[in-house]
Amino acid sequence: MNAAKRREIFERLRADNPNPRTELNYTSPFELLVAVVLSAQATDKSVNKATAELFPIANTPRAMLDLGEAGLKRYIRTIGLFNSKAANIIKSCSALLTQHDGEVPQQREALEALPGVGRKTANVILNTAFGQPTMAVDTHI
């Protein structure tokens, strides 16, 4: 496929859906990061249900660390792979505080260095939270 064909495809997609939006509920780049990490092997509906209770309690890296891994697990136990996701989220919160002043980085490499964050998650964050021209592709497509 050449560049002109790719451009045409993107133009058609933009015309059909000029303001694409995720179905995950979030109010900040950090909340989106947590929600996307939780969404792996889970439905957006189940993630939204868990984060509706979690985010009023812990919606920053510091608050999430204060909640701790065991505390986080209580909120996300209905989501598949919750043990490893909780561990990764807590480790990511620590990294965000020590390496990024508590902010979600806007660079792919920095995002992918966070535990539990791969290329797809990084692309979702970069595009949805920061408006960067990226596309998240699921391996099942």
Q: Which amino acid, residue 26?
A: Y
In the chain, the largest separation of any two C-alpha atoms, in whole Å, equals 51
Q: Which amino acid, residue 60?
A: T
**138 carries an active-site annotation:** yes
Q: Which of 5, 16, 101, 138 is catalytic?
A: 138
**120 carries an active-site annotation:** yes
Distance CA 107, CA 128 (A): 13
Closest to 93 (Cα-Cα) out of 126, 71, 74: 71
What is the signed CA dihedral for 4, 22, 34, 39, rounded to 10 degrees?
-90
Residues designated catalytic: 120, 138
